Amino acid sequence: MNTASFFTPVQTGLQEVEALLRSQSDGAHPDLGAALEHLLASCGKRIRPALGLLTGQMLGAPHDKLVTLAASVEMLHTATLVHDDLIDGALLRRGMPTLNARWSPAATVLTGDYMFARAAKLAAEADTQPLTKLFAVTLATIVNGELTQLFAARGVISRENYTRRIYAKTASLFEMSTRAAAMVSPVGEEAIEAMRQYGYHLGMAFQIVDDILDFTGNQEAVGKPLGSDLLQGLVTLPALYYIEAHPDDPNVRLLAEGRYGDRERIERLVEAIRSSEAVAGSLEEAKGFVQKALDWLAGMPAGEEKQALEDLARYTVTRKI
């Protein structure tokens, strides 16, 4: 299945989002404009704007507001990636050089800040106070999650901790996309809550699958070595499953002791996790989230948008595995 098929009902809207994103460097320093251009060209599949556009179109939201809102969400997402890549020292993202690979840390920090500012401006233009507040709260959630991860003792992690982390990292912005789109639609609180739940569950599934792909994915497509999370001391769901099932594996004990420096043994652990039942267990969990997303979607008005949101949810757990 080609991802493009979910996007068909919102093709026009996505093009407008693209144009709006690119207009955000108007009046800025030319080098900043070039950086934004580069970032917007390299960053992703526009799944967050598509989610907002599909939700709002399904629920009869005014088109212009939806486009502005979707651009705001994508700008916010890209801004967090810019700072993330700087923090991780990542040189590539999706096969393209990151900003920090080409620019100084100073310029990278400020470019991210500029994008936050533009995202906030777009959010304020899209609508009213509750939405701008939601925007700000979501940004605080994401950043607090990153800081918590930064401070956390590596390796030692509970399931609860993992759930909080992937909520902050991914599900919070998915949730915001669908919830905000419902908020600007002519619908009641119940529909807003249902679409918030859809976005939340989809986001949780999406990140779990990302974490599985870190073990099982096509190394070249992902652009990182297999098990890169674990090699950096980041314990995700497949590792949690494996740790629970094999507490006496000496390499598992290595993790608990925080000895990530022993690359060879961590690589052996990655291989063990990859060929264990942990992958299937994690995938089942992701499928559970997708099912809940579909359940929350069930009461929405039928049409091509709803169909696309269903397909998108199902695709989440089948992509690249």
If phi > 0 it is left, if psi is from -120 to 50 it is alpha, else beta; for residue 223 that is left
**Does 64 interact with a copy of itself (rule: CB under 8 A)?**
no
Which residues make beta-bridge pairs with 92?
97
φ/ψ of residue 96, rounded to 5: -105, 150
Which residues make beta-bridge pairs with 93?
96
**Does 146 interact with a copy of itself (rule: CB under 8 A)?**
yes
Instruction: Return the amino acid letter for 194.
Output: A
* Residue 277, SS3 per DSSP: coil
Between residues 135 and 162, which has the closer beta carbon with respect to a copy of itself?
Answer: 135
Tell me the per-residue interface mask from 90 to 119 with a copy of itself, x by CB under 8 A, - otherwise: --------------xxxx-xxxxxx-xxx-
Query: What is the rounded CA–CA span in Å between residue 149 and residue 117?
Result: 24
The residue assigned the tokens 């509970």 is 158
**Does 144 interact with a copy of itself (rule: CB under 8 A)?**
yes
Q: Which of 31, 37, 190, 193 binds a copy of itself (CB under 8 A)?
A: 31
Between residues 19 and 137, which has the closer beta carbon with respect to a copy of itself?
Answer: 137
Query: What is the rounded CA–CA span in Å between residue 146 and residue 172?
Result: 13
Q: Which of 69, 123, 181, 269 binds a copy of itself (CB under 8 A)?
A: 123
Q: Which of 18, 22, 32, 271 binds a copy of itself (CB under 8 A)?
A: 32
Q: Which of 6, 135, 167, 198 binds a copy of itself (CB under 8 A)?
A: 135
Q: Which of 43, 96, 101, 124 binds a copy of itself (CB under 8 A)?
A: 124
Rounded to the nearest 5 percent, the helix, strand and coil shares of the chain are 75, 0, 25
Instruction: Tell the smallest beta-carbon distance from residue 148 to a copy of itself (Å).
Output: 5
Query: What is the rounded CA–CA span in Å between residue 193 and residue 173?
Result: 15
The residues of the shown chain that bind a copy of itself, judged by CB under 8 A, are 27-29, 31-32, 80, 83, 86-87, 104-107, 109-114, 116-118, 120-121, 123-125, 127-129, 132-133, 135-137, 139-140, 143-144, 146-148, 150-151
